[in-house]
Amino acid sequence: MRDVTIDQEPVELFKVLKFEGLASSGAEAKNAIADGLVSVNGEIELRKRRKLYAGDTINFADAALVLVI
């Protein structure tokens, strides 16, 4: 599990995927979310703009991330 440091809360799900390099663009991140490939806190997440807070975990492909401040 890799820590992702955020400066402010909340942060949108697709932005985390984009800025952490898990998606090459915002559109690619949104498509992955819409296709049901991303889970937040162990549940499949289909909302592209899901608000995330410190302590939330994201799983996508082989990556596992946890948000920290």
Domain CATH code at residue 6: 3.10.290.10
Q: Which stretch of DSSP H or E encloses residue 27?
A: helix 26-34
pLDDT at 69 (0 to 100): 86
Q: How many domains does the chain have?
A: 1
For 41, the domain range is 2-68
Q: How far is CA 42 from the centre of its chain?
A: 12
pLDDT digits (tens, 9 = 90+) for 6-61: 999 999 999 999 999 999 999 999 999 999 999 999 999 999 999 999 999 999 99
Pairing of strands 11-12, 51-52: antiparallel
Q: How far is CA 62 from CA 22, 58, 59, 69, in A?
A: 10, 11, 7, 23
pLDDT, residue 44, reads 98
